[in-house]
Amino acid sequence: MNQEIRMKTKHFYAVLVILGFLLIYSLSSNRGCDSTEQAALELQSLQDNRAAFIPNHKGPTIYAITPTYARPVQKAELTRLSHVIRLVPNVFWVIVEDAEHTSNLVTNLLMRSGLQDRSVQLSAKTPANFKLQGKDPNWLKPRGVEQRNKALEWVRQHMADNGGRERHSVVYFMDDDNTYSTELFAEISKIERNKVGVWPVGLVGGLMVEKPVLNRDEIVLGFNSAWRPERPFPLDMAGFAISSDLLWDNPQAQFSYEVERGYQESEILRHLTIVHEMQPLANKCTEVLVWHTRTETPKLDAEKQLVKSGKHSDTGLEV
Ligand code: UDP
Ligand code: MN
Protein backbone atom coordinates (compact mmCIF):
# COMPACT_ATOMS: atom_id res chain seq x y z
CA MET A 1 0.00 0.00 0.00
CA ASN A 2 2.76 2.43 1.10
CA GLN A 3 4.75 1.52 -1.94
CA GLU A 4 1.78 2.38 -4.17
CA ILE A 5 1.47 5.84 -2.60
CA ARG A 6 5.22 6.39 -3.08
CA MET A 7 4.89 5.47 -6.74
CA LYS A 8 2.00 7.88 -7.20
CA THR A 9 3.97 10.72 -5.55
CA LYS A 10 6.88 9.93 -7.87
CA HIS A 11 4.62 10.14 -10.89
CA PHE A 12 3.16 13.38 -9.61
CA TYR A 13 6.62 14.97 -9.36
CA ALA A 14 7.63 13.65 -12.74
CA VAL A 15 4.55 15.21 -14.37
CA LEU A 16 5.23 18.45 -12.49
CA VAL A 17 8.81 18.61 -13.80
CA ILE A 18 7.66 17.96 -17.42
CA LEU A 19 4.97 20.65 -17.13
CA GLY A 20 7.59 23.04 -15.76
CA PHE A 21 9.86 22.41 -18.73
CA LEU A 22 7.00 22.89 -21.16
CA LEU A 23 6.06 26.19 -19.51
CA ILE A 24 9.64 27.50 -19.65
CA TYR A 25 9.99 26.36 -23.28
CA SER A 26 6.76 28.00 -24.41
CA LEU A 27 7.66 31.25 -22.61
CA SER A 28 11.14 31.34 -24.14
CA SER A 29 9.99 30.58 -27.69
CA ASN A 30 7.23 33.21 -27.48
CA ARG A 31 9.55 35.86 -26.16
CA GLY A 32 10.40 37.42 -29.50
CA CYS A 33 7.67 37.65 -32.10
CA ASP A 34 10.47 37.96 -34.68
CA SER A 35 11.86 34.50 -34.02
CA THR A 36 8.41 32.84 -34.33
CA GLU A 37 7.83 34.64 -37.60
CA GLN A 38 11.29 33.58 -38.74
CA ALA A 39 10.53 29.97 -37.85
CA ALA A 40 7.20 30.09 -39.71
CA LEU A 41 8.92 31.55 -42.77
CA GLU A 42 11.61 28.88 -42.69
CA LEU A 43 8.97 26.16 -42.43
CA GLN A 44 7.03 27.67 -45.31
CA SER A 45 10.12 27.82 -47.51
CA LEU A 46 10.94 24.24 -46.64
CA GLN A 47 7.46 23.16 -47.64
CA ASP A 48 7.70 25.19 -50.84
CA ASN A 49 10.96 23.44 -51.65
CA ARG A 50 9.39 20.06 -51.09
CA ALA A 51 6.50 21.01 -53.34
CA ALA A 52 9.04 21.75 -56.06
CA PHE A 53 10.43 18.24 -55.73
CA ILE A 54 7.06 16.55 -55.84
CA PRO A 55 5.12 18.76 -58.22
CA ASN A 56 1.92 16.81 -58.55
CA HIS A 57 0.35 13.60 -57.45
CA LYS A 58 -2.72 14.20 -59.53
CA GLY A 59 -3.22 15.58 -62.99
CA PRO A 60 -3.52 13.92 -66.38
CA THR A 61 -1.25 11.02 -67.24
CA ILE A 62 1.74 12.37 -69.13
CA TYR A 63 3.04 9.82 -71.64
CA ALA A 64 6.74 10.69 -71.85
CA ILE A 65 8.11 9.21 -75.08
CA THR A 66 11.84 8.52 -75.06
CA PRO A 67 13.73 7.14 -78.07
CA THR A 68 17.05 5.68 -76.96
CA TYR A 69 19.94 3.77 -78.48
CA ALA A 70 22.84 1.67 -77.24
CA ARG A 71 26.06 3.65 -76.69
CA PRO A 72 28.54 4.06 -73.81
CA VAL A 73 26.53 6.87 -72.15
CA GLN A 74 23.10 5.25 -72.51
CA LYS A 75 22.76 3.97 -68.95
CA ALA A 76 23.94 7.28 -67.50
CA GLU A 77 21.40 9.22 -69.59
CA LEU A 78 18.52 6.89 -68.72
CA THR A 79 19.42 6.87 -65.02
CA ARG A 80 19.20 10.67 -64.99
CA LEU A 81 15.81 10.53 -66.71
CA SER A 82 14.46 7.75 -64.54
CA HIS A 83 15.23 9.75 -61.40
CA VAL A 84 13.25 12.70 -62.69
CA ILE A 85 10.35 10.44 -63.62
CA ARG A 86 10.36 8.82 -60.17
CA LEU A 87 9.63 12.22 -58.71
CA VAL A 88 6.61 12.86 -60.92
CA PRO A 89 3.89 10.31 -60.19
CA ASN A 90 1.66 11.16 -63.16
CA VAL A 91 4.32 10.41 -65.77
CA PHE A 92 4.06 7.13 -67.67
CA TRP A 93 7.33 6.38 -69.45
CA VAL A 94 7.14 5.03 -73.02
CA ILE A 95 10.69 4.05 -73.77
CA VAL A 96 11.51 2.91 -77.32
CA GLU A 97 14.87 1.35 -78.05
CA ASP A 98 16.44 1.82 -81.45
CA ALA A 99 17.10 -1.90 -81.80
CA GLU A 100 15.66 -5.15 -83.08
CA HIS A 101 14.78 -6.26 -79.54
CA THR A 102 14.43 -4.66 -76.13
CA SER A 103 17.54 -4.94 -73.96
CA ASN A 104 18.29 -6.24 -70.47
CA LEU A 105 20.01 -2.96 -69.69
CA VAL A 106 16.75 -1.04 -70.06
CA THR A 107 14.62 -3.75 -68.39
CA ASN A 108 16.93 -3.76 -65.36
CA LEU A 109 16.99 0.01 -65.20
CA LEU A 110 13.20 0.17 -65.14
CA MET A 111 13.09 -2.49 -62.45
CA ARG A 112 15.71 -0.87 -60.23
CA SER A 113 14.08 2.51 -60.45
CA GLY A 114 10.73 1.00 -59.46
CA LEU A 115 9.10 2.18 -62.67
CA GLN A 116 7.91 -1.17 -64.09
CA ASP A 117 4.31 -0.34 -63.32
CA ARG A 118 4.33 3.02 -65.03
CA SER A 119 6.40 2.34 -68.09
CA VAL A 120 6.40 0.30 -71.24
CA GLN A 121 9.53 -0.90 -73.00
CA LEU A 122 9.29 -1.07 -76.79
CA SER A 123 11.75 -1.38 -79.65
CA ALA A 124 11.80 -0.05 -83.20
CA LYS A 125 14.98 -0.17 -85.22
CA THR A 126 15.87 2.74 -87.49
CA PRO A 127 16.23 1.38 -91.07
CA ALA A 128 19.90 1.09 -92.08
CA ASN A 129 19.63 3.77 -94.80
CA PHE A 130 18.42 6.34 -92.25
CA LYS A 131 20.86 5.45 -89.50
CA LEU A 132 23.77 7.82 -88.84
CA GLN A 133 27.14 6.33 -89.71
CA GLY A 134 30.37 6.64 -87.67
CA LYS A 135 31.60 10.14 -88.53
CA ASP A 136 28.29 11.59 -89.85
CA PRO A 137 27.34 14.91 -88.27
CA ASN A 138 24.25 14.27 -86.15
CA TRP A 139 22.03 16.63 -88.16
CA LEU A 140 22.55 14.68 -91.41
CA LYS A 141 19.63 12.33 -90.80
CA PRO A 142 16.53 12.64 -88.66
CA ARG A 143 16.82 10.87 -85.30
CA GLY A 144 14.07 9.18 -83.35
CA VAL A 145 11.49 9.06 -86.18
CA GLU A 146 10.93 5.29 -86.10
CA GLN A 147 10.86 5.18 -82.30
CA ARG A 148 8.50 8.14 -81.78
CA ASN A 149 6.09 6.77 -84.38
CA LYS A 150 6.12 3.40 -82.68
CA ALA A 151 5.32 5.10 -79.38
CA LEU A 152 2.48 7.09 -80.96
CA GLU A 153 1.05 3.86 -82.29
CA TRP A 154 1.25 2.40 -78.78
CA VAL A 155 -0.42 5.46 -77.21
CA ARG A 156 -3.27 5.39 -79.74
CA GLN A 157 -3.81 1.67 -79.16
CA HIS A 158 -3.64 2.19 -75.40
CA MET A 159 -6.29 4.92 -75.73
CA ALA A 160 -8.47 2.62 -77.85
CA ASP A 161 -8.26 0.01 -75.08
CA ASN A 162 -9.23 2.60 -72.45
CA GLY A 163 -12.25 4.41 -73.83
CA GLY A 164 -10.63 6.49 -76.60
CA ARG A 165 -10.47 10.20 -75.83
CA GLU A 166 -12.62 9.84 -72.72
CA ARG A 167 -9.80 10.28 -70.23
CA HIS A 168 -7.60 13.36 -70.52
CA SER A 169 -3.89 12.66 -70.99
CA VAL A 170 -0.88 14.38 -72.54
CA VAL A 171 1.99 13.24 -74.78
CA TYR A 172 5.51 14.67 -74.43
CA PHE A 173 8.60 13.78 -76.47
CA MET A 174 11.35 13.40 -73.88
CA ASP A 175 14.72 12.77 -75.55
CA ASP A 176 17.20 10.88 -73.42
CA ASP A 177 19.98 13.47 -73.33
CA ASN A 178 18.12 16.68 -72.37
CA THR A 179 17.88 18.09 -68.85
CA TYR A 180 14.40 18.29 -67.32
CA SER A 181 13.19 20.07 -64.20
CA THR A 182 10.43 18.30 -62.28
CA GLU A 183 8.62 21.65 -62.45
CA LEU A 184 8.21 21.19 -66.20
CA PHE A 185 5.79 18.33 -65.55
CA ALA A 186 3.66 20.49 -63.27
CA GLU A 187 3.35 22.85 -66.24
CA ILE A 188 2.60 20.05 -68.72
CA SER A 189 -0.17 18.90 -66.36
CA LYS A 190 -1.94 22.22 -67.02
CA ILE A 191 -2.42 21.48 -70.72
CA GLU A 192 -6.11 21.61 -71.54
CA ARG A 193 -8.04 19.20 -73.71
CA ASN A 194 -7.52 19.75 -77.46
CA LYS A 195 -4.49 21.93 -76.79
CA VAL A 196 -0.77 21.85 -77.51
CA GLY A 197 1.22 23.47 -74.68
CA VAL A 198 4.42 25.45 -75.41
CA TRP A 199 7.26 26.88 -73.30
CA PRO A 200 10.89 28.03 -73.63
CA VAL A 201 13.78 25.59 -74.15
CA GLY A 202 17.29 26.50 -73.04
CA LEU A 203 20.48 26.06 -75.09
CA VAL A 204 19.01 25.24 -78.47
CA GLY A 205 18.95 26.50 -82.05
CA GLY A 206 22.11 28.53 -81.54
CA LEU A 207 20.51 30.61 -78.78
CA MET A 208 20.61 30.67 -74.99
CA VAL A 209 16.87 30.20 -75.15
CA GLU A 210 14.32 29.55 -77.87
CA LYS A 211 10.88 30.70 -76.75
CA PRO A 212 7.36 31.49 -77.85
CA VAL A 213 6.61 35.20 -78.29
CA LEU A 214 3.30 36.26 -76.73
CA ASN A 215 1.18 39.36 -77.14
CA ARG A 216 -0.38 41.27 -74.24
CA ASP A 217 -3.36 38.92 -74.23
CA GLU A 218 -1.02 35.95 -73.82
CA ILE A 219 -1.67 34.65 -77.32
CA VAL A 220 1.32 32.96 -79.01
CA LEU A 221 2.28 35.13 -81.98
CA GLY A 222 5.38 33.19 -83.02
CA PHE A 223 8.84 32.21 -81.83
CA ASN A 224 12.17 33.97 -81.40
CA SER A 225 14.04 31.22 -83.30
CA ALA A 226 17.19 32.18 -85.19
CA TRP A 227 17.62 28.88 -87.04
CA ARG A 228 15.20 28.41 -89.95
CA PRO A 229 12.58 30.78 -88.52
CA GLU A 230 10.52 30.23 -91.67
CA ARG A 231 9.47 26.78 -90.44
CA PRO A 232 5.71 26.60 -89.67
CA PHE A 233 6.59 25.70 -86.06
CA PRO A 234 10.18 26.81 -85.45
CA LEU A 235 10.61 25.17 -82.03
CA ASP A 236 12.38 22.17 -80.49
CA MET A 237 10.84 18.79 -79.70
CA ALA A 238 11.38 19.50 -75.97
CA GLY A 239 9.31 22.69 -76.16
CA PHE A 240 5.78 21.35 -76.55
CA ALA A 241 3.38 18.63 -75.41
CA ILE A 242 0.10 17.48 -76.91
CA SER A 243 -3.29 16.79 -75.38
CA SER A 244 -3.80 13.20 -76.50
CA ASP A 245 -7.35 13.77 -77.77
CA LEU A 246 -5.74 15.70 -80.65
CA LEU A 247 -3.75 12.57 -81.51
CA TRP A 248 -6.88 10.50 -81.28
CA ASP A 249 -8.83 12.83 -83.59
CA ASN A 250 -5.93 13.09 -86.09
CA PRO A 251 -4.61 9.56 -86.62
CA GLN A 252 -2.44 10.70 -89.56
CA ALA A 253 -0.31 12.96 -87.32
CA GLN A 254 3.17 11.47 -86.95
CA PHE A 255 6.85 11.93 -87.86
CA SER A 256 8.32 11.36 -91.30
CA TYR A 257 11.60 10.69 -93.12
CA GLU A 258 10.29 12.67 -96.09
CA VAL A 259 10.64 16.12 -94.57
CA GLU A 260 13.55 18.56 -94.63
CA ARG A 261 16.00 18.77 -91.79
CA GLY A 262 14.47 20.57 -88.79
CA TYR A 263 10.89 19.99 -89.89
CA GLN A 264 9.93 17.03 -87.64
CA GLU A 265 8.20 19.27 -85.09
CA SER A 266 6.31 21.09 -87.86
CA GLU A 267 5.43 17.78 -89.48
CA ILE A 268 3.46 16.47 -86.52
CA LEU A 269 2.11 19.81 -85.29
CA ARG A 270 0.66 20.91 -88.64
CA HIS A 271 -2.06 18.28 -88.19
CA LEU A 272 -2.91 19.31 -84.64
CA THR A 273 -2.92 23.05 -84.08
CA ILE A 274 -2.05 26.53 -85.32
CA VAL A 275 0.49 28.78 -83.61
CA HIS A 276 -2.16 31.20 -82.24
CA GLU A 277 -3.99 28.36 -80.51
CA MET A 278 -1.03 26.94 -78.61
CA GLN A 279 -1.26 27.16 -74.82
CA PRO A 280 1.64 29.16 -73.32
CA LEU A 281 3.03 27.69 -70.09
CA ALA A 282 5.97 28.22 -67.69
CA ASN A 283 4.75 31.52 -66.31
CA LYS A 284 3.78 33.09 -69.65
CA CYS A 285 6.87 31.55 -71.24
CA THR A 286 9.24 33.44 -68.94
CA GLU A 287 10.82 30.40 -67.27
CA VAL A 288 13.25 27.79 -68.59
CA LEU A 289 12.43 24.33 -67.20
CA VAL A 290 14.11 22.18 -69.86
CA TRP A 291 17.51 22.43 -71.55
CA HIS A 292 18.56 20.88 -74.84
CA THR A 293 21.83 19.60 -73.41
CA ARG A 294 23.96 17.18 -75.41
CA THR A 295 26.34 14.72 -73.82
CA GLU A 296 29.93 14.63 -75.02
CA THR A 297 30.92 11.30 -76.54
CA PRO A 298 33.45 9.84 -74.09
CA LYS A 299 36.99 9.23 -75.31
CA LEU A 300 37.69 5.55 -74.88
CA ASP A 301 41.18 5.29 -76.42
CA ALA A 302 42.59 3.22 -73.58
CA GLU A 303 39.58 0.91 -73.71
CA LYS A 304 40.19 0.34 -77.43
CA GLN A 305 43.79 -0.60 -76.66
CA LEU A 306 42.58 -3.07 -74.05
CA VAL A 307 40.07 -4.58 -76.44
CA LYS A 308 42.89 -5.19 -78.93
CA SER A 309 44.55 -7.41 -76.34
CA GLY A 310 41.25 -9.20 -75.73
CA LYS A 311 40.38 -7.43 -72.45
CA HIS A 312 37.67 -5.04 -71.27
CA SER A 313 37.65 -2.77 -68.23
CA ASP A 314 33.96 -3.56 -67.72
CA THR A 315 34.00 -7.33 -67.82
CA GLY A 316 31.26 -8.49 -65.48
CA LEU A 317 29.87 -4.98 -64.90
CA GLU A 318 27.19 -2.97 -66.59
CA VAL A 319 28.29 0.65 -67.07
N1 UDP B 1 18.23 8.40 -81.12
C2 UDP B 1 17.94 7.10 -81.50
N3 UDP B 1 18.71 6.49 -82.48
C4 UDP B 1 19.77 7.12 -83.06
C5 UDP B 1 20.07 8.44 -82.66
C6 UDP B 1 19.28 9.05 -81.68
O7 UDP B 1 17.00 6.50 -80.98
O8 UDP B 1 20.42 6.53 -83.92
C9 UDP B 1 17.42 9.04 -80.06
C10 UDP B 1 18.25 9.67 -78.94
O11 UDP B 1 18.50 8.73 -77.92
C12 UDP B 1 17.37 10.82 -78.48
C13 UDP B 1 16.61 11.21 -79.75
O14 UDP B 1 16.69 10.10 -80.64
O15 UDP B 1 16.45 10.44 -77.47
C16 UDP B 1 17.20 12.44 -80.42
O17 UDP B 1 18.55 12.20 -80.74
P18 UDP B 1 19.74 13.22 -80.36
O19 UDP B 1 19.64 13.59 -78.94
O20 UDP B 1 21.03 12.65 -80.83
O21 UDP B 1 19.34 14.45 -81.28
P22 UDP B 1 19.60 16.00 -81.09
O23 UDP B 1 19.67 16.32 -79.66
O24 UDP B 1 20.88 16.23 -81.78
O25 UDP B 1 18.44 16.61 -81.76
MN1 MN C 1 19.59 15.43 -77.94
What is the chain written as a DSSP string?
-HHHHHHHHHHHHHHHHHHHHHHHHHHHHHS-HHHHHHHHHHHHHHHHHHHHHS--SSS-EEEEEEEE--STTHHHHHHHHHHHHHT-TTEEEEEEESSSS--HHHHHHHHHTT-GGGEEEEE-PPPGGGSPPTT--TTSS--SHHHHHHHHHHHHHHHHHTTTTSS-EEEEE--TTSEE-HHHHHHHTTPPTT-EEE--EEEETTEEEE-EEE-TT--EEEE---SSTTSSS---GGGEEEEHHHHHH-TT----SSSPTT-HHHHHHTTT--GGG-EE-HHHHT---EE---PPPPP-HHHHHHHHTT--TTTT---
Q: To test ligand 1's pocket by mutation, which of 109, 177, 261 has the most ligand atoms within 8 angstroms of CB?
A: 177
pLDDT at 30: 47
pLDDT at 37: 78
Residues around ion ligand 2, judged by CB within 5 A, are 175, 177
**Annotated catalytic residue 265:** yes
pLDDT at 15: 66
Atom of ligand 1 minimally distant from the CA of 177: 19
179 Cα: distance to centroid of ligand 2 (angstroms): 10
Asked if residue 67 has its Cβ within 6 Å of ligand 1, the reply is yes
Atom of ligand 1 minimally distant from the CA of 175: 15
Atom of ligand 1 minimally distant from the CA of 292: 23
pLDDT at 45: 62
Asked if residue 177 has its Cβ within 6 Å of ligand 1, the reply is yes
pLDDT at 139: 77
Q: Tens digit of pLDDT per residue, the chain (319 long)? A: 456 656 666 776 766 667 666 666 655 554 444 667 776 776 666 555 545 444 456 799 999 999 999 999 999 999 999 999 999 999 999 999 999 999 999 999 999 999 999 999 999 999 998 888 888 887 788 999 999 999 999 999 999 999 999 999 999 999 999 999 999 999 999 999 999 999 999 999 999 999 999 999 999 999 999 999 999 999 999 999 999 999 999 999 999 999 999 999 999 999 999 999 999 999 999 999 999 999 999 999 999 999 999 999 999 999 9
- Active-site hit among 187, 210, 265, 267: 265
Asked if residue 143 has its Cβ within 6 Å of ligand 1, the reply is yes
